[in-house]
Amino acid sequence: MRRKRLTHAVLAVLLTLGGLSAAGAFPASASVSAADTPRTASPKAASDGLLSAMQRDFGLTRAQAEIRLAAERAATALAPKARRTAGSAYAGSWFDRADGRLTVAVTPDASDATRRALRAAGAELRTVRHSARQLDAAKTRLDRLSVPSGVSGWHVDPAANTVVVDIVRDKRSDNDVRTFVSRARRTGPVTVRTVSAAPRTFAAGTVGGDPYYTGNVRCSIGFSVYGGFVTAGHCGRPFAAVYGWDGSYVGNFQGSSFPGDDYAWVSVGSGWWTVPVVLGWGTIPDQLVRGSAVAPVGSSICRSGSTSHWHCGTVLATNETVNYSQGTVYQLTKTSVCAEPGDSGGSFISGDQAQGVTSGGWGNCSGGGETWFQPINEILNRYGLTLHTY
């Protein structure tokens, strides 16, 4: 049997955050369709380690962390039901940390019966102008435009009831950016926002630690699936050989997509095995994985990677289009969690529910930043994989 650190190589998610700086971000793409059937969030109590991490990263007491996790589990379970109940009047939803409930936006034509049903289920309601279908259609039209490098990305913001387009601050006067913004405003309800950094991928050179390697690229292992593990597509191309933290052969990339998407999966053999665990890196105990129910916007989320290890933050947006120098990636989830070179492909988890693998971002874990991940359920559906759960 290999020594215990072998678990790190098999379970830490692939994350190639190379040269991550305040001007960098990384890629990922995914979509959750009706075929993405997540497991139900577990009612089991959170571990002491997870509660301690939330106390550290969110400034909560232990009791407040427990209350928030319970509220987020309820919101995660309610979100898909609320969408079905609202029907064509649905305009998005998000977890409101202030009142600890799921807020569901509906258009003015939502019936009284629909509103009563949503309130009875525990949702807070907000009436807005544009439906989710209208916002998604505007974003789809944006996805078809040619994108200059000064445009960071765009996503639907349900709380603002608009599509938010992010422009890099020092590129605002660029003619191509101005032309893109003009075209974007014609696609539907669009709000333009400036950001400090442009997104990019992060592949790290070979360094020590608990990574896996392909060529001269270091990444972090993602979630175990039966037969291997999933990770970011920018970490390696199909059939590339993968080596573990100790230099021994692990397996090969069986599928990989980037840009457009940012997902891949690696077969595991040669004495390596998979387990349903995300590394806590000594910050918290290793976390068991029990499913893949999607956490709503506003929920807490944590990330594990081979460079910066364990950090937590909040889900900021879903279905975001991110414009990397290598190409555009669609349907990523944005978070306030930091990351650093070598973290690419790493695990994003909310409670005990797998969320996705690290794609890219900007900033670092000293000064802060934002990170995007590729949602896990799309990866599983794309390759016909089954998440290894406890």
Residue 210's pLDDT is 58
Least confident range from 197-201, 348-352, 375-379: namely: 197-201
* Gap between the Cα atoms of 351 and 369, Å rounded: 22
Residue 206's pLDDT is 30
Determine, yes or no, domain membership for 103. Answer: no
* Gap between the Cα atoms of 327 and 375, Å rounded: 18
- Answer yes or no: are the C-beta atoms of 270 and 252 closer than 8 Å: no
pLDDT tier for residue 204 given thresholds of 50, 70 and 90: very low
- Answer yes or no: are the C-beta atoms of 180 and 148 closer than 8 Å: yes
Average pLDDT, the chain: 85
Which distant-in-sequence residues (6+ apart) come within 8 Å of 169 by Cβ?
194, 195, 196
Active site residues: 234, 262, 344
- Answer yes or no: are the C-beta atoms of 340 and 1 closer than 8 Å: no
Residue at 369: amino acid letter: G
Residue 21's pLDDT is 30
CATH number at residue 210: 2.40.10.10
Six-digit token string for 239: 């059939």
pLDDT score of 28 more than 80:
no
Residue 245's pLDDT is 78
Average pLDDT over residues 231-235: 96
Condensed to tens digits (0 to 9), the pLDDT of residues 256-314 reads 999 999 999 999 887 888 888 898 887 887 888 999 999 999 999 999 999 999 999 99
Residue at 349: amino acid letter: I
Give residue for tokens 């078809």. Answer: 144
pLDDT score of 34 more than 90:
no
pLDDT score of 9 more than 50:
no
* Gap between the Cα atoms of 30 and 376, Å rounded: 8
Determine, yes or no, domain membership for 167. Answer: no
Residue 338's pLDDT is 93
Determine, yes or no, domain membership for 82. Answer: no
pLDDT tier for residue 201 given thresholds of 50, 70 and 90: low
Element (H, E) at 34: none
pLDDT tier for residue 331 given thresholds of 50, 70 and 90: very high
- Answer yes or no: are the C-beta atoms of 357 and 23 closer than 8 Å: no
Q: Per the structure, how many domains does the chain have?
A: 1
Q: Dump the DSSP string for 167-178.
A: EEGGGTT-HHHH
Determine, yes or no, domain membership for 128. Answer: no
* Gap between the Cα atoms of 185 and 170, Å rounded: 20
* Gap between the Cα atoms of 251 and 248, Å rounded: 10
Residue 44's pLDDT is 57
Provide φ and ψ at 33, rounded to 5°. Answer: -100, -175
Six-digit token string for 72: 């987020």
* Gap between the Cα atoms of 86 and 133, Å rounded: 12
pLDDT score of 24 more than 60:
no
Residue 309's pLDDT is 92
Pairing relationship of beta strands 101-106 and 217-219 according to DSSP bridges: unpaired
Q: Where are the alpha helices (DSSP H) in 107-214?
A: 112-120, 132-143, 175-185
Determine, yes or no, domain membership for 361. Answer: yes
Residues of the chain with pLDDT > 90: what percent?
Answer: 69
Determine, yes or no, domain membership for 217. Answer: yes
Determine, yes or no, domain membership for 76. Answer: no
Residue 22's pLDDT is 29
Domain coverage including residue 387: 1-59+199-390
pLDDT tier for residue 216 given thresholds of 50, 70 and 90: confident
Q: Dump the DSSP string for 267-288.
A: E--TT----SEE--BTTBPPEE
pLDDT score of 39 more than 90:
no
Average pLDDT over residues 308-331: 95
- Answer yes or no: are the C-beta atoms of 95 and 298 closer than 8 Å: yes
Condensed to tens digits (0 to 9), the pLDDT of residues 129-181 reads 999 999 999 999 999 999 998 999 999 999 999 999 999 998 888 999 999 99
- Answer yes or no: are the C-beta atoms of 349 and 53 closer than 8 Å: no
Which whole-number Å values give the CA distances from 123 to 81, 82, 158, 228, in the listed order? 11, 8, 15, 39
Least confident range from 9-18, 125-134, 198-207, 257-266: namely: 9-18
